[in-house]
Structure 1
Amino acid sequence: MTKAVILVLDSFGIGSAPDAERFGDLGANTMASVASAFAKAKGRQLALPNLAKLGLVRAAKAASEQAILVEDASQVRGAYGYAAELSSGKDTPSGHWEIAGVPVLFDWGYFHQKTDSFPAELLDKLCAETGVPGILGNCHASGTDILQKLGDEHIKTGKPICYTSADSVFQVAAHEEYFGLQKLLDFCQVARRLLDEYNIGRVIARPFLGDSPDNYARTGNRRDYSVLPPAPTVLDKLTQAGGEVISIGKIADIYAHQGISKGVKATGLAALVDTTLQQMALVGANSLVFTNLVDFDQNYGHRRDPIGYGEALEYFDSRLPELIDALDDDTWLLLTADHGCDPTWPGTEHTREFIPVLCYRRGIAEVDLGMRHSFADIGQTLTDLFSLEAMSYGDSFFAQLTK
């Protein structure tokens, strides 16, 4: 009768990983930086009492020597630890695939040039196959800034806005009404095929609405086109064994829809939590509800908004009792992240950090899981939880949960 619910607090790192210096991220700490900025702006500490009861503060203090500025719980109920990333990058697919037991041990392709980022040969093929009159952007950019700069020209010319970042990604912004949502998705599918030879991890469709730079805003119709994970994930193993995997948010896109029984879309933190609760009430035995809470990364981490990040954390914390109350005796709740995105760090990119690993089930005692050497420990633990064939990577902590 086993069931599990995983919520990925996208970008919620809790301290520099052992190899952070190699990524230029030594000293980055999403949780500590958010808490510090929040305390200065609000005149009070960040209040996360329900996350603290699951062991978040203890995990964060163990992962970093930085001051956390979040009050710890007097009594913890649950298992807590922190995990370093084995994968070669600090991007979304690598983090999620490693959580599911498949670390990325190869190097992605990247577009390193800050301007004229994409090869002319690629753009010529893309324009020829899709019929667009050209593209705008062709640079590293913030997804919100580039709309303000190029949104008007995009509407006037019909040229999609193409941009990238330090991640292995090709992003395409286009207006849902003037360009058309389906046309954007078709364009991105062609781009996905052409980018395979460049070993680019994701193509992201970024539709937006509005009629001026003052109100251009991305919509909830984002779509990620990812390459397949390099090996079967624990999601594949569970579905092949007759279990069910319910994806909420962008999870299905991240795994290229492999190992997913049903995908449910939701936009915004409140809707993502609501949808998770709805699906928890519907699923049966041998099921996994898997949710990505993208707002932390997309709206606050990349936009370097630590106060908004803190407010979103407090909101999620306020909803956590609902999630816990919805658990039955056979359901495990796991909270984690896929990388960091310190909103006070230079630039707008992800940061190489430890992630929290928080597990709860009714009746569980306090368990210190310590430092985990790979996110894949989560996937390996799921194989024990669902009695599946073991993954090639990761050390299960299932025995510690069930003492």
Structure 2
Amino acid sequence: MRRAVWVVMDSLGLGAAPDAAVYGDAGADTFGHIAAACAEAPRGPLRLPTLTRLGLPQAHALARGRAAAGFNDLPRPEGGWGYAVERACGKDTPSGHWETAGVVLQRPFGLFPDRERSFPPELLRALIEEAGLPGVLGDCHASGTEIIARLGAEHIASGKPIVYTSADSVLQIAAHEDAFGLQRLYDVCVVARRLLVPYDIGRVIARPFVGSADTGFTRTGHRRDYALPPPAPTLFDAVQAAGGETVSVGKIGDIFAHRGIARTVPAHGHDALFDATLDALAQAGDGALIAVNFVDFDSVYGHRRDALGYAAALEAFDARLPALLAALRPDDLLAISADHGCDPTWPGSDHTRETVPLLAWTPTLRARCVGRRESFADIGQGIATHLRLPPLAAGRCFLTDTADLPARP
């Protein structure tokens, strides 16, 4: 009975990718800089016993050529470990996830590069007219928490939603759940998704919030992503074609426009995501694929440049991992990866172009270094091989194409 669990530690980069300078990210290192921040803080070194057992700091040391602060005496990992380089251009959530699932974008998504007056006037006019809006606020690059603090009160008074973007291929729309209406926000995002097709923008994101000018504004867990569909069949389609169940926990389904996803389990917050993943695994049958994205690493800590908060979230994640490992059956595969970086010590608030971890574990897997993988697609190809599926269109299987275990870094 073979099943697979794919866990995405959203934004946990292992250091600048070979082409990071093109993106202004030479020197970025999400994991390394978090570890350094911990070592310099009163709280002390980053402690990740389970992820160390699986090979995360070892993979980082392999990618960077040196161990992160506090990880100088690394044990031999128990599973497969290495790191992967993205082939697709960009540092977006969809491109990273799609490539992992076997679809490598041949050209980058469209962008709105201007930091002010970011959107074409004709696009905003069409959105205002077709969605029945009194206008929009924002029209700029911004951090999501900063812009609702700055424009939340005006939004409530005017009824105009807040529209903003970033260095990623995205249009985000923020609105107050009560004053504007949650379903109305979703409806506006659907209109925006349709209007953005000619611009080849990867995602429209609904960013609902609550609160007031007096108490402060807080984003809620009712976020929804409206992504372009992948341009070719993915790992999820292959699982379904073979008769296996595909389960999305959290935002994975949205990232794939729900193509190839049989069941979506909503969950908000890392503990709830863990609980939902364990429940899904307990119910999953032969050939099932369960995929979960732990988004708070990115949205709560990476984008907000909170290195110590990110560290605490990593330690909390590490503490929950043993329960997931214990729930795996002898023929199950756990694959842990990321989709990009979001270095909390880096200037700005955008993603960073980095390599990502590849950690693999089954109760029977021999410890091995899988080395540097030249595409995120190697991860999906390994999952496909484990599930005895036909080869995906991209990637080399890390389970059968591995390097010898090197000396400790």
- TM-score tier by shorter-chain length is over 0.9
Name the counterpart of 1:107.
108
1: CA distance between counterparts of 2:98 and 2:305?
Answer: 26
User: Which one is further off, 251-260 or 382-391?
Assistant: 382-391
2: CA distance between counterparts of 1:42 and 1:4?
Answer: 39
What secondary structure sits across from 2:138 in the alignment?
Answer: strand
Query: CA offsets per residue over residues 232-267 of structure 1, 9 Å max, x none?
Result: 001111112211111001000000000101000111
- Report how far residue 43 of structure 1 moved: 4.7
Name the counterpart of 1:371.
372
Name the counterpart of 2:131.
130
1: CA distance between counterparts of 2:321 and 2:154?
Answer: 44
- Pairing 1:46–2:46 present: yes
Q: Tell me the percent identity.
A: 52
Q: How does 1:139-218 map to 2 (within 5 A)?
A: 139-212=140-213, 214-218=215-219
- Report how far residue 67 of structure 1 moved: 4.3
- The amino acid of 1:164's aligned partner reads T
- Pairing 1:339–2:344 present: no
- Report how far residue 70 of structure 1 moved: 3.8
2: CA distance between counterparts of 1:83 and 1:203?
Answer: 27
- Pairing 1:4–2:4 present: yes
- Report how far residue 188 of structure 1 moved: 0.3
Q: How does 1:66-105 map to 2 (within 5 A)?
A: 66-71=66-71, 73-105=74-106
- Report how far residue 152 of structure 1 moved: 0.2
1: CA distance between counterparts of 2:365 and 2:242?
Answer: 27
- Report how far residue 65 of structure 1 moved: 3.3
Name the counterpart of 2:118.
117
- The amino acid of 2:336's aligned partner reads L
What secondary structure sits across from 2:181 in the alignment?
Answer: helix
- TM-score, structure 2 normalization: 0.96
1: CA distance between counterparts of 2:249 and 2:70?
Answer: 29
Q: For structure 2, which runs of at least 5 residues remain unmatched after alignment?
A: 405-409
Q: 1:172 to 1:333 in 2, by over 3 A?
A: same
What secondary structure sits across from 1:42 in the alignment?
Answer: coil
Query: CA offsets per residue over residues 243-295 of structure 1, 9 Å max, x none?
Result: 11110010000000001010001111111111111111111110011000000
- The amino acid of 1:212's aligned partner reads A
Conserved 8 A contact 1:152-1:213 = no
1: CA distance between counterparts of 2:90 and 2:257?
Answer: 18
Name the counterpart of 1:303.
304
What secondary structure sits across from 2:216 in the alignment?
Answer: coil
- Report how far residue 389 of structure 1 moved: 2.1
Conserved 8 A contact 1:33-1:344 = yes
- The amino acid of 2:136's aligned partner reads I
Q: How does 1:239-388 map to 2 (within 5 A)?
A: 239-388=240-389
- Pairing 1:37–2:37 present: yes
- The amino acid of 1:180's aligned partner reads G
Name the counterpart of 1:21.
21
2: CA distance between counterparts of 1:32 and 1:198?
Answer: 36
2: CA distance between counterparts of 1:73 and 1:279?
Answer: 33
2: CA distance between counterparts of 1:74 and 1:340?
Answer: 25
Q: How many residues align?
A: 402
What secondary structure sits across from 1:216 in the alignment?
Answer: strand
- Report how far residue 310 of structure 1 moved: 0.3
2: CA distance between counterparts of 1:330 and 1:383?
Answer: 14
Conserved 8 A contact 1:149-1:213 = no
2: CA distance between counterparts of 1:121 and 1:386?
Answer: 48
- Pairing 1:62–2:62 present: yes
Conserved 8 A contact 1:301-1:341 = yes
What secondary structure sits across from 1:26 in the alignment?
Answer: coil
